[in-house]
Structure 1
Amino acid sequence: MTFQRIGGLAALVCGATYLIGFALLVTLLAPLGFGTKEIDARAVVDFIDTSPGILIAWNTTIYVVNALALAVLVMALSLRLSKATPGWASAAQAFGLIWAALVLGAGMMANVAVVRASHVYATDPEAAAQLWDVLHSVELGLGGGNEIAGGIWILCVSIAGLVGRSIARAIAVLGVLTGFGGLATIVPALGDTAGAIFGLGAIAWFLAIGAVLAIGRRPA
């Protein structure tokens, strides 16, 4: 199996982690307010006390597994882009690895927050809620609450794909729109809407890129 095909599988894994994350977000985790500004820290630590494994599994999927697969995809796409646009490929690789590192850090912070809150909850639920809220804020700062790093990486890859014709035009255009959606999360008033655009666009983009790389299709 070539590294390009491995990169394709990594892209499909990235898309799958987003799908799994959204599925849990709108079902089991919906009452807690995840993904909104109305998140209830006390409700979260109550949930952690009864079902810590669910949050650990969710964090591990959307952050840790995603970051590891993302690092492989970044390298595979850099190799693909370097033949036609070496400069853009280098920039994309740098931004992509930065994003992967931030996502991995956010995942480790999110899991530490669950473990620490669980320990404190036994003696002081209110203190556990405050501790989780603080650690959750750090998690959001690393990458869970904005998509700037991801937006700039997808944007760089897509522009390189358009310039060098190394990615199908439709996929590259989708990537450009998704990338701008990620960058727009820096504006507080647009945060939720832009985040949703980025998330849904990224799912489609990852799956499309994955399919192209996995079947070994050569650049046009």
Structure 2
Amino acid sequence: MLGQVPRGKIDDEHPKDWRHRCPSRSCLLHPGFSIFIIFLDPPSHLDPVRSVEYLIANETLILSAMTLIYIVAALVLLVLVLALHDRLKTVQPRLMALATPLGIIWAGIVIASGLISVSGSQTVIGLHAVDPERAGTVWLAVGIMQNALGGGIELVGGVWILLVSVSAMAGKTLSRFLNYLGVILGLVGIASVVPALSDLVDVFGLGQIVWFFGSG
């Protein structure tokens, strides 16, 4: 995520490529992610201060991309959550009574992550003019908060997809392929809470591209 460094040592020997700072929704096909791929090609190794300098140099594009990837995508997710609720509430009312609030919470978490990104970027841009080192430190903190909310762990999203898929499986509402895929993705998202399995968020995100388009 923005300003994020991998778990462990904080230095420029363990960078996080900007093109990986995307929550694991279907953002790989999202216009915001396309901005990163087409228009932004940052160096792979950026320490916190240089990350802020890169942000300043590409402020408009980066904030536009993050708004699309987080805030707009979360609103689309909310529509999908409510649509699936209407579709499955008569099939498995108890499961959907649990799943739908989790889906709404998940969408809210993603929106919050985007707002932290946008607000935090404005803070560090202003701070950089006065104290670049402090701006880099604040940017790291913003990245940690954003990563915790927006994709470093996909527990909430995993539980939601698992419950929806089990409900759809019971009612034979979605295709068998989507149902089994959803169960697998749900378990993968839940497993991402284990630090050693944090890379599973990439599997979760890629699988969601298929699941979202199929279930939507």
Aligned CA distance change for structure 1 residues 82 and 185 (closer, same or farther; 3 Å): same
- Deviation by residue 1:13-66 (Cα, 9 ceiling, x = unmatched): x63x34235545666366356xxxxx7322320111111112211211111011
For structure 2, list consecutive stretches of 5 or more residues without a partner in the other structure: 1-24
Separation of aligned partners in 2, 1:40 and 1:162: 47
- Aligned 8 A contact 2:158 2:187 in 1: yes
Tell me the TM-score normalized by structure 1: 0.80
Tell me what 2:61 maps to: 54
Separation of aligned partners in 1, 2:185 and 2:50: 32
Tell me what 1:199 maps to: 205
Q: 1:172 and 2:184 equivalent?
A: no
Tell me the TM-score normalized by structure 2: 0.81
Tell me what 2:125 maps to: 118
**The residue matched to 1:31 in structure 2 has which SS?**
coil
Separation of aligned partners in 2, 1:138 and 1:29: 24
Q: 1:138 and 2:123 equivalent?
A: no
RMSD over aligned Cα, in angstroms? 1.9
**Runs of 4+ more than 6 Å apart:** none
Separation of aligned partners in 2, 1:199 and 1:153: 14
Tell me what 1:6 maps to: none
Greater fraction of residues in helix = 1
Q: 1:45 and 2:52 equivalent?
A: yes
Aligned CA distance change for structure 1 residues 204 and 119 (closer, same or farther; 3 Å): same
Q: 1:81 and 2:88 equivalent?
A: yes
Aligned CA distance change for structure 1 residues 85 and 200 (closer, same or farther; 3 Å): same
- Deviation by residue 1:136-172 (Cα, 9 ceiling, x = unmatched): 2111122331111111111111111101111111111
Aligned CA distance change for structure 1 residues 189 and 42 (closer, same or farther; 3 Å): same
Percent identity at matched positions?
36
Matches within 5 A, 1:64-79: 64-79=71-86
- Aligned 8 A contact 2:33 2:65 in 1: no
1:197 Cα deviation from its structure 2 partner: 0.6
**The residue matched to 1:186 in structure 2 has which SS?**
coil
- Aligned 8 A contact 2:35 2:61 in 1: no
- Residue 29 of structure 2 aligns with an amino acid whose one-letter code is L
- Aligned 8 A contact 2:36 2:65 in 1: no
**The residue matched to 1:205 in structure 2 has which SS?**
helix
- Alignment length, in residue pairs? 190
- Residue 98 of structure 2 aligns with an amino acid whose one-letter code is A
Tell me what 1:3 maps to: none
**The residue matched to 1:123 in structure 2 has which SS?**
coil
- Aligned 8 A contact 2:151 2:201 in 1: no
**The residue matched to 2:68 in structure 1 has which SS?**
helix
Aligned CA distance change for structure 1 residues 40 and 23 (closer, same or farther; 3 Å): farther
Aligned CA distance change for structure 1 residues 30 and 83 (closer, same or farther; 3 Å): farther
Separation of aligned partners in 2, 1:30 and 1:180: 33
Tell me what 1:208 maps to: 214
